[in-house]
Structure 1
Amino acid sequence: MLNARASAQNPGDQDRDLSVDELWSGAESETNSRPTWNGSNGLKRKRPLTVSCELCKQRKVKCDRAQPSCGWCTRNGQLCEYKERKKPGLRAGYGKELEQRLDKLEKTIQSQGRLIETHILQNPRLLPDLPQTGPFPYSSPSEPSAAHGPSPHNDLFQEPSSLPAQDTPILGQHDYTDNDSSLNVPVNLFSNQVRSFADPELELPPYDLLYALVDLYFEHVNPWCPILHRRTTLDNFFGPSPLAEEDRMVLYAIVATTLRFSTDTRLNEQNRKQYHDSSKQKVLLYGLENSSVKALQALVILALDLVGSSNGPPGWKLLALITRSVVQLGLAVEPKSRLVAPVYPSIYTLRAVVLPEPDSWIEEEGRRRLFWMVYLLDRYSTIATAFDFALDDKDIDRKLPCKDEYFVKNQPVETRWFRHSHNRTDYINRAENVGFLGLYVEILGILTRIHRFLKRPVDIGSLSDVEEWQTTYRKLDSELTSWEFNLPNEYAYENSSRLFSGPKHARGLQCDWVQLHAAYQTAVIRLHSSAAYPTTRSPIFTPSYSASQRCLLAVDNILSVTRLVVNNKLLDKLGPPFAFTLWVSARLLLVHGSTIAHIVSPDFTFFVDTLAQMGMHWKVAERYSSILHRVLDEYGEYQQSGAIDGERTTPSTVKILADMRRCAFDLDFLISRQPRSSPASSSQPPMSSTAGPLRNLAPNELEYLDVFGFFNVPRVPPTRALDIASLDIEGTGSNNLSPMHGLAGGATDPADAVVDGHSSNMNDLNITNYLIPTPETDWLFRQTG
């Protein structure tokens, strides 16, 4: 048909109608069958070596094939080039490669189908009483898009106890299946993977829902916890190879963490809780008994679930296990680190190399990312408390994670080292390869130093102590400014308008940008709130006006970032760390309202509402929102209340919030001064008489501590803390306030205490009689000699 049509047309028409490949092969076959061609003049000539010139082929027009230049090239003054005809057809070996790929795909589909058939036949008690006698129908497991359509697992996993048993023989007793399929595969080849989906004790969701949950993990969790390589993970979970036990534990952890994002109608409250609790228990038991990278990955992913549900002891216990495990497995250092092989080794300094060498660069980078994610969790779970970090910087000698694009493409690159001290000379090497997670780690490193700085007691009556405190404060402020200044252009704060007005495929970059600036502004608030709203003051330690402006600017920036997140529907792509940033910002507005503004900012409600939205997926955000709601409700009740016991007559807003903060300060003081019975201390006399036994605390008192305890800085030495508390609680100081909720016990005479030659009555509690700073008295930017 093609030859007949070609013979009826002139050569130029044939060039125009056929594709380039068809022209090559067609002209070649024509040359072989008819080596000559009769033109209109009846003369025979050899067929030209080429069909048309290169320009005519590019323009896809008819070429008159004139030599040495065709008509079009001659008229337009172009260089006419005829190339030798290439050999027609596919390249050598292409057909064989294509056949092998099809065979591999067919084997994968058949093996997955066999797994489902084996699962059904090995569990006869799960088979429903079907009227048909033919083989059990099932959807192809290679089509995860049918997650919400009919599935053979729908009835199997809804009410298994109500399904009647069948008299089908158990297939596990035979070497081969009795199926008529052309693929006869021994069942024991897939015993591990069959058991992972067939054992009723393992309680995994149906196959299609399982695939959907893994996909949800990479959509909602992996953007802020990028420790898994997507392609490798999917191959391990759903590939033709049997599912290894350690991979199954990672799968359990993903199920437990990602169920909160699934809207599948098959998941009701009962089986959702069943899947979660079962997966959680299996991961915990396996992690306690096994030391491996995969076991640690499963525990870290499960820790996201616990930290996202509560910021209390359940998450702390698991993080304590994880942080020690990463150090013991050697993940806190590079394989060639000097901490592994010190210059002068000893029994103590030589570390046991527990883990084998990674098989690939993806595995090596995955280990590095796993450690830094543990570092991130440890920092966020500790900065809100008075505890020390579980991961000490002196145990860390790691390079920073690379850009995600290199990790996804399996493109090995070198990055710079993490700097926790200034003695490393190769810090700036390979800085261009550091990605979002590496920059995130660096700002958390600065936040770590801020936390340790604020934990150290400072004697606000000693000039040398105050000057040393202010010097360290300025140094940390410079580190924050330098980090923001050196951000790559794509992560600059000024890049927000261009970034969020771009295409939707830039959502990954948008999430990275949000998390970096949220962490940075959190660090700014953590540092400068200590100078802007100190709980205690002295003639040489006063609040800073510039620090308060820095805090308000940070809150305003967080507000802008949060509006971008909400408007672009990115809230479900961010995890508990972002909720913590909103929690810090909302609480700072309360502190500012109790000290300088004398009123709560209207933006406070926006933060509370946004936390409530995040609470749909992360319970810890819901708890933050509910606490702030109750404090705000009590604040409103105080505003509208009349006299209470004849002592309070419609107090001002500043006094209401100041009383709440004072209550938190008293409670923090009493808890931190509680005597601890131990053999070493039993013979020592008590340090003070103020730390009496704690009574049962009211819920609102603990909520005050949650809200305002973050800003109970600076920490003062025990003797001076006692003097300040005694001074204010007993009414001998300038505040003249009665104890809040009866928290305080007895007190000593403040006139008896003298520290560094300064009488303690020179110090005031800077809460209920807050000293409003002014630019003229600001010490932050004062020139030092």
Structure 2
Amino acid sequence: MVFNVDGLTGTECEYKGEKCKPGMRPGVIETIHRRLDGLEKSIEELKSSEPSNALKPQEPHDIVRLARELHRLNESAHFVTGSPHKRRRIDDDASTLVPQYPGKPSLPPEPILQAIIEAYFSHLHPWIPMLQQARFDRRLADPATRPKLLVILHAMVVAATRYVDPTCIPGPLPTPAEREQTRSWVMSTAMSALVIESLQALTIIAFNDIGNGEAMRAWAIIGSLTRTAEYLQLTVEQDGQDEQGTPDRASLSRPFVSLPPLPGEAWIEREEQRRVFWNIFSLDRFCSITTGWNTSLTSDDVCRRLPCDIGLWWQDEPVVTPYFNIWDKSAGRIGNPIAFLPSQYTSNDNNHHINKGTSPAESSHSPNQPSPTINMTTVGAFAYCMEATESLSQVTTYFLQQRVDMRDQHELGSWLTRFKELDLRLIHWKMLLPQKWKADMARQDSRMDPNLTLAHVSHNTSIILLHQPIAFPAPSWAFAARLPSTCSAHTCSAAAVEVAAIARNYLKTLPASLPVANLLAFCLFIAARALLIHWQYYPPAALAPEFPSLVESLDKMSRLWRGYDEGHLPSDLAGRYAQKLRDLQSRCVKEELYCIDPSGYTAEVSDLEQPPVQNAVPDILQSMHSVPNGPILGHDSTYEAGTGDLNMISQMILDPKFMDMDRIISFHDGMFNADDYAV
């Protein structure tokens, strides 16, 4: 059989049984390339012709010849590559294929699309609440505004299809391969337009990538989201109290405004934009907390009110919420007292520009407590979740990631002071939770609110990460025997036990197939890991029974995340965490000298393959022995710097009033039901 490429001499492709290999004869590709070059040259000559000639109509036969030539070359290129989306170019490397972006994917039929939209709002919206469903439905039904939602609809197809029961819809669902192609289209489309819908679509994609265990794909998206949020000025309020300030603090150069200002009556849309920012903020913090990288959204950029209670937003009841202050990185360095940093909340709009380094006397209220005039009744679960996420970020950024010379008495004293300051901040946050969020134990079997559950688990995880360096100090710290390690170790263990209880009860009351937030999976991993470390440092006590409970919860979260796609995902985030914990436990049992590094969690949760953590001191476990009020590790008794400020700080930390403070949120005193949460 002989296939001829029309119009080309000597370009027969022969298939004669097994006598020769199929394919184009030599010279065909070069001929096509020469014809393309000739055609491009002819077009350029037409463009460069005199204006008078350009106005003359082309001869009919010239036009026909040009169209025919384009058709032949297109067919030839298609024949060579075997794909309508690729064309072989002959440059230095004749084997290089230049991929073409696929065309816009088709949306599923309307009944299936509606099922996917419903699955998005019921399954994913609680964790990324940035679309007001009634407004979304109105825009979707309006032919004038529906095209603007196209990129969001395709993002929903990517992330929510797996939560649609395939037996309850009139047709096939998009396959995983088709959803991957749709993801590529969403990425290319959303990156090319500075609009709110692009940010919403990319937020859905990033959240989905992380949960799929593909966080490395999400980091670049998150970086783009944080910068684009600044470009669109979503980091500041539009009520005249933005970072340009009041009239007496206005800058001479005004930033370019990408989004038109919203009218005063567009409160639902204004709150939607605010929530878009806070979801991006949450992704930025998650990236920093899990990787140890710097945060992208800083106090220099952000001046935002907290999101309101979602029930008020759903019912279109306009309210005003407090501003939420985040810390300046330079002012937050160890050695600068936290008391000089702005408090969490600001009620007076004229005071939210608290300068870095403002003293408590200059502030409108105490640095550790909100002002009595602040109205916290307008905020809900999502706002408290953002607060707890920022607390977790403060522990990692302003304590764990700070560079400290532990041999320098002054720096060591500043480090211990920071530990106490952050500990008190976390205690105050727990104490100041509104009474209405306390649990009704008579209804403890009802469904628990997802965002408050995450907020409380995040708080306990902050306690664990803050106390771990004190509870399990490095063997090289000669002063470690002076630390309240036993007390901090008990605090870590108790917090991990409560995380296990909260997670177990939340999953027990959770409807089938509802996924769980990525940050919650991380918190469970940290809690279970802390129990393993406690088991290693304090033998011969048995491993806490909450460890297998946490692993089991992660396994269940993995199944919930997969939905009806069971078997398609190689390893989602919760599943990876569960397997890593099993590997760590197995290694602790099999390798006598293996010791988990308390600060090594960032390497363990990375997508990249990491080399095994090597012990800095190979005989670390062999040298373990009891020391007063500390872990059973050996220390250098010749350390002479434990005088003066260090002695005073150690005494403050060891003070019974400080050690006995209630730091941990338990399931019995810190949860509330989801009845107040309107999805």
TM-score by length of 1: 0.56
Q: Counterpart in 2 of 1:418? A: 324
Q: Compute the RMSD of aligned alpha carbons.
A: 3.5
Query: Which one is further off, 459-468 or 565-574?
Result: 565-574
Match of 1:353 in 2: 257
Query: 1:387 is matched by which residue type in structure 2?
Result: W
Residue in 1 that maps onto 2:414: 468
Q: In the alignment, is the contact (CA less than 8 A) between 1:399 and 1:418 conserved in 2?
A: yes
User: Which residue identity lines up with residue 261 of structure 1 in the other structure?
Assistant: Y
Q: Tell me: CA distance 1:314–1:476, structure 2 relative to 1, closer, same or farther (3 Å).
A: same
**8 A contact 1:480–1:524 mirrored in 2:** yes
- The structure-2 alpha-carbon separation of the partners of 1:468 and 1:269, relative to structure 1 and needing over 3 Å to count, comes to farther
What CA distance in whole angstroms lies between the structure 2 residues aligned with 1:316 and 1:381? Answer: 7
Contact 2:468-2:488 within 8 A present in 1 as well: yes
Amino acid paired to 2:473: P
1:193 corresponding residue in structure 2 = none
Partner residue of 2:544 out of 601, 615, 621: 601
- Counterpart position of 1:578: 520
Shift of 1:455: 0.8
Q: Which residue of 2 aligns with 1:557?
A: 498
Q: Greater CA deviation, 570-579 or 516-525?
A: 570-579
* Cα distance in 1 for residues equivalent to 2:134 and 2:413: 55
CA 1:338–1:661: 2 relative to 1, 3 Å: closer
Q: 1:662 to 1:511 in 2, by over 3 A?
A: closer
Q: Counterpart in 1 of 2:580?
A: 627
Query: Which runs of 5 or more structure 1 residues have no equivalent in the other structure?
Result: 1-198, 639-650, 670-696, 709-724, 738-758, 764-776
Which residues of 2 match residues 360-371 of structure 1 at below 5 A? 360-371=266-277
Distance 1:382 1:475, change over 3 A: same
1:589 pairs with 507, 531, 536, which one?
Answer: 531
Question: Does 2:192 correspond to 1:257?
Answer: no
Does residue 332 in structure 1 map to residue 235 in structure 2?
yes
| Percent of aligned pairs sharing the same letter | 22
Any conservation in 2 of the 1:217–1:254 contact (CA below 8 Å)?
yes
Tell me: higher relative CO, structure 1 or 2? Use CA pairs within 8 A at least 6 residues apart.
2
Shift of 1:333: 0.8
Corresponding residue of 2:181: 278
Correspondence 1:517 to 2:456: yes
SS at the partner of 1:572?
A: coil
Spell out, residue by residue over 1:631-686, the C-alpha distance to the aligned partner (whole angstroms, 9 max, x if none). 33444555xxxxxxxxxxxx4xxx44x1x549969x979xxxxxxxxxxxxxxxxx
Alignment partners' CA distance in 2, 1:578 and 1:699? 23
Distance 1:449 1:403 in 2: 24
Give, in whole Å, the separation in 1 of the partners of 2:193 and 2:391: 34
Q: CA deviation at 1:210?
A: 1.1
Instruction: Provide the residue aligned with 1:137 in structure 2.
Output: none
Q: SS of 2:303's equivalent?
A: coil
Residues of 1 paired with 2:415 and 2:432: CA distance?
Answer: 26
Where do residues 362-761 of structure 1 align in structure 2 (5 Å cutoff)?
A: 362-420=268-326, 421-422=342-343, 423=354, 425=364, 428=371, 429-452=374-397, 453-492=399-438, 495=439, 497-502=441-446, 507=447, 510-542=449-481, 543=483, 544-570=485-511, 572-598=514-540, 599-616=542-559, 617=561, 619-638=572-591, 651=592, 655-656=593-594, 658=595, 660-661=596-597, 701-702=611-612, 728=617
For residues 146-193 of structure 1, the C-alpha deviation after alignment (integer angstroms, 9 at most, x for no partner) is: xxxxxxxxxxxxxxxxxxxxxxxxxxxxxxxxxxxxxxxxxxxxxxxx
- The 8 Å contact of residues 500 and 510 in structure 1, kept in 2 or not, is answered as no
CA deviations on 1:29-87 (whole Å, 9 max, x unpaired) are xxxxxxxxxxxxxxxxxxxxxxxxxxxxxxxxxxxxxxxxxxxxxxxxxxxxxxxxxxx
Structure 1, residues 329-368: CA drift from partner, whole Å, max 9, x if none? 1111111224134645446x63222211225100000111
**8 Å contact from structure 2 (residues 467, 492) kept in 1:** yes
Q: Which runs of 5 or more structure 2 residues have no equivalent in the other structure?
A: 1-101, 327-341, 344-353, 355-362, 563-571, 625-634, 640-649, 658-679
TM-score with structure 2 length normalisation? 0.64
Once the two structures are TM-superposed, the CA of residue 778 in structure 1 deviates from its matched residue by: 8.0
Q: Contact 1:589–1:604 (CA<8 Å) still a contact in 2?
A: yes
- Name the aligned partner's letter for residue 629 of structure 1: R
The structure that has the greater radius of gyration is: 1
Match of 1:220 among 123, 131, 134: 123
Judge conservation of contact 1:331–1:368 (CA < 8 Å) in 2: yes
When residues 536 and 567 of structure 1 are mapped into structure 2, their CA distance, relative to the original with a 3 A threshold, is: same
Alignment of 1:24-173 (within 5 A): none
1: CA distance between counterparts of 2:279 and 2:215?
19
Distance of 2:637 and 2:170 partners within structure 1: 64
Deviations, residues 270-314 of structure 1 (Å, cap 9, x unaligned) = 942134213211221112110011111111111111111226321
State the SS of the aligned residue for 2:297: coil
Distance in structure 2 (CA, Å) of the matches to 1:268 and 1:315: 31
> CA separation of 1:425/1:417 partners in 2, compared to 1, >3 Å: closer, same or farther?
farther
How far residue 425 of structure 1 moved from its aligned partner, in angstroms, is 3.3
Q: Count how many residue pairs are aligned between Structure 1 and Structure 2.
A: 476
Change (3 A) 1:406 1:553: same
Q: Does the aligned pair in 2 maintain the 1:216–1:258 contact within 8 Å?
A: yes
Q: Structure 1 residues 701, 270: closer, same or farther in 2, change over 3 A?
A: farther
Distance between the aligned counterparts of 1:353 and 1:501, measured in 2?
A: 49
| Separation of aligned partners in 1, 2:651 and 2:553 | 35
- Residue among 216, 221, 242 paired with 1:313: 216
Change in CA separation of 1:417 and 1:668 when aligned onto 2, cut-off 3 Å: closer
Q: Give secondary structure in 1 for the equivalent of 2:323.
A: coil
Letter in 2 for 1:367: Q
1:297 aligns with 200
Separation in structure 1 between the aligned mates of residue 556 and residue 305 of structure 2, nearest angstrom: 36
Seen in structure 2, the aligned counterparts of structure 1 residues 621 and 484 have a Cα distance that, compared at 3 Å, is same
Q: Distance in 2 between matches of 1:511 and 1:668?
A: 28
